[in-house]
Amino acid sequence: MNDDLERYCLITGCAGDIGQSLVKGFHSAGYKVIGVDINPKPANMILHRYLQIDISRIVNEEDYAIDFLSEIKKCIKKNGLSVLINNAAIQILGGVETLDRDDWVNTLEVNLLAPFFLTKLLLNHIEHAQGSVINISSIHATLTKSNFVAYATSKSALSGLTKSMAVDLGDRVRINAIEPAAIETGMLLAGFNNNPDRIKELKLCHPVGEIGQADDLSKLAVAIASDGLSFLNGACIPFDGGVGSRLHDPE
């Protein structure tokens, strides 16, 4: 990374709990953070620029993508983009018999195609800053459960895309992914109806006896983006409290 340039980080899906932790983590690490989300800016979020953007339109509309790139270029000026974090995702639950065409199209546009087209769109600016891309994948890329058919498929593909892009781009831009298991967010707790017994059971499924914290995930992302890890490329890093190594048979 060129020491004469300011460090800029672009984070998609920045209005969610994990996104907000990523914004806070990279801001604290000295980056000028550009936040992107389809929802309005959360109160008290501290960052360089907030863009209310529908990233699925970047996939489908060339003019929309060009306008978005123009806004990013205004933000970063000559500095380039040190980090792109493809964090935005949607989780449409459903199985083989219930998922419809719109479910699949929406899932793949946001979770898979947007990370590809955003990386392609911003590639020269990331390369200029000798920067990297971090895709927020999921434990569902390798381990899943019923009713996660579309989501798990999209995350499997995102982890595969991470490896493929790393090979394709070589030494131009580093591409890595984080594959989190359960992270304590408002959405996750609501999914368990904020039931203390069920949440305790979820914690005990993980060998560490806890579920993940978004702030810890952001620390990992900051570390991956650092200059000191230049050999880390094409990696899909589990952030799962050991649950991905657990054989859950009756004892």
Is residue 240, in this structure, part of any structural domain at all?
Answer: no
Is residue 22, in this structure, part of any structural domain at all?
Answer: yes
Residue 1 has pLDDT above 60, yes or no: no
Query: Model confidence over 82-128: pLDDT tens digits?
Result: 999 999 999 999 999 999 999 999 999 999 999 999 999 999 999 99
| Amino acid 88: pLDDT | 98
Whether 158 and 217 have beta carbons less than 8 Å apart is answered as: no
Is residue 80, in this structure, part of any structural domain at all?
Answer: yes
CATH of residue 67's domain is 3.40.50.720
Is residue 197, in this structure, part of any structural domain at all?
Answer: no
Non-local (6+) Cβ contacts of 24 within 8 A are: 46, 215, 218
The domain total for the chain is 1
Arithmetic mean of pLDDT, 41-56: 97
| Amino acid 3: pLDDT | 59
Arithmetic mean of pLDDT, 24-34: 98
Query: Model confidence over 162-207: pLDDT tens digits?
Result: 999 999 999 999 999 999 999 999 888 887 888 889 889 999 999 9
| Amino acid 224: pLDDT | 98
DSSP code of residue 173: S
| Amino acid 225: pLDDT | 97
| Amino acid 4: pLDDT | 67
What pTM, to 2 d.p., does this model score? 0.95
Whether 184 and 213 have beta carbons less than 8 Å apart is answered as: yes
| Amino acid 251: pLDDT | 62
Domain extent, residue 119, equals 8-184+215-235
Q: What percent of the chain has pLDDT over 90?
A: 88
The strand ranges marked E within 4-158 are 8-12, 32-37, 49-52, 83-86, 132-136
